[in-house]
């Protein structure tokens, strides 16, 4: 008689503030999902998956809850998973007074910031998670779109009195890594330039804010990771393929990067993380990636499957 499938323990989630005091806003929060049998504390050795959402640095309709479908699918699809917990970071947004449903108010301190405020919020969230749970050297930092940009922007050079916890992997999906190229590739659509100038109004910082170009002192956080994954979908209608290829070239030129993988995803820009189905990753695919780390992998995968693939690579 076949043994019945054992269901994974239920996940519980909580919203925690990573910044307190008079400067804290409603967006200085992080959602954490853990199971009620294991609090994913410093001693359990399990991997955290930490997500930075996209939304062009300004969209109030895209927040930390965007990660919930991926969390659910990853948890139920990996019964004996190495994943101990998930976290999804909110951060302050740039102005968006023309948003149809939720226009920003100039008096709202949570929706009127510019670079590097978004990045500093994400950095503070990581520092909080490390203080509370000891995530250093055991977390996957994943970002989509503007979130992927921030995952590759993070650097201790932005901080004064703290060191960011080292990730075991940085995963960027549909990121923007070269700002001038991004605007030039879409120069026939004024909204692209507007988005970038809204989040980064000082054009003088564009080079150092572009992960593929930056000359800021000290290594970026991604350079310290064991595994670096940069992904793009050919069906992405908003971000051109040149962004990922430029970042891959930069990553493979960095000595500290032990493993750099280019993995193809499926779907349009937002479908990568909105649609999560058929989450299966074969060990043979992992072995292929490890044997050819410099070759682009053209096998189509979704966001959830990419995270599982990342974990298998880390365990190999």
Catalytic positions are: 145, 236, 269
| Structure tokens that stand for 311 in this block | 């974990």
The residues near 191 (Cβ < 8 Å, ≥ 6 apart) are: none
The dihedral through the CA atoms of 234, 237, 238, 242 has a sign that is: positive
Q: Output the CA–CA distances (angstroms, integers) from residue 125 to 133, 219, 225, in the order listed.
A: 12, 20, 18
Q: Output the CA–CA distances (angstroms, integers) from residue 231 to 153, 289, 293, in the order listed.
A: 16, 14, 14
8 Å CB contact between 162 and 183: no
Nearest to 67 by CA among 198, 168, 166, 173: 173
Instruction: Cis check for the bond before 118: say yes or no (omega within 30 of 0).
Output: no
The helix/strand count (H/E) of the chain reads as: 10, 9
Angle value at C-alpha 302, between 255 and 66, nearest 5 degrees: 95
**Could you please report the per-residue DSSP string of 171-222?**
EEES----HHHHHHHTTT-HHHHHHHHHH---GGGHHHHSTTT---SS-BGG
């Amino acid at each position: 008689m076949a043994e019945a499938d054992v269901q994974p323990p239920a996940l519980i989630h909580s919203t925690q503030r990573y910044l307190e005091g008079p400067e804290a806003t409603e967006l200085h929060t992080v959602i954490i999902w853990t199971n009620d049998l294991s609090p994913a504390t410093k001693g359990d050795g399990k991997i955290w998956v930490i997500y930075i959402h996209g939304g062009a640095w300004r969209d109030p309709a895209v927040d930390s809850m965007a990660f919930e479908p991926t969390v659910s699918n990853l948890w139920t699809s990996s019964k004996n998973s190495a994943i101990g917990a998930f976290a999804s970071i909110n951060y302050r947004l740039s102005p968006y007074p023309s948003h149809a449903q939720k226009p920003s108010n100039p008096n709202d301190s949570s929706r009127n910031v510019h670079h590097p405020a978004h990045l500093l919020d994400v950095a503070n969230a990581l520092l909080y998670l490390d203080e509370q749970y000891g995530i250093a050297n055991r977390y996957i930092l994943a970002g989509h779109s503007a979130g992927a940009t921030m995952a590759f922007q993070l650097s201790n050079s932005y901080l004064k009195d703290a060191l960011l916890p080292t990730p075991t992997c940085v995963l960027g999906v549909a990121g923007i890594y070269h700002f001038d190229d991004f605007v030039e590739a879409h120069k026939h659509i004024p909204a692209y330039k507007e988005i970038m100038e809204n989040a980064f109004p000082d054009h003088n910082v564009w080079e150092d804010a572009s992960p593929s170009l930056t000359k800021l002192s000290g290594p970026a956080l991604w350079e310290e990771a064991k595994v670096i994954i940069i992904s793009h979908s050919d069906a992405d209608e908003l971000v051109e393929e040149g962004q990922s290829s430029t970042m891959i070239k930069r990553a493979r030129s960095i000595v500290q990067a032990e493993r750099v993988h280019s993995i193809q995803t499926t779907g349009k820009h937002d479908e990568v993380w909105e649609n999560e189905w058929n989450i299966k990753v074969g060990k043979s695919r992992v072995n292929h990636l490890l044997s050819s780390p410099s070759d682009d992998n053209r096998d189509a995968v979704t966001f959830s499957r990419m995270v599982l693939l990342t974990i298998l690579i880390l365990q190999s």
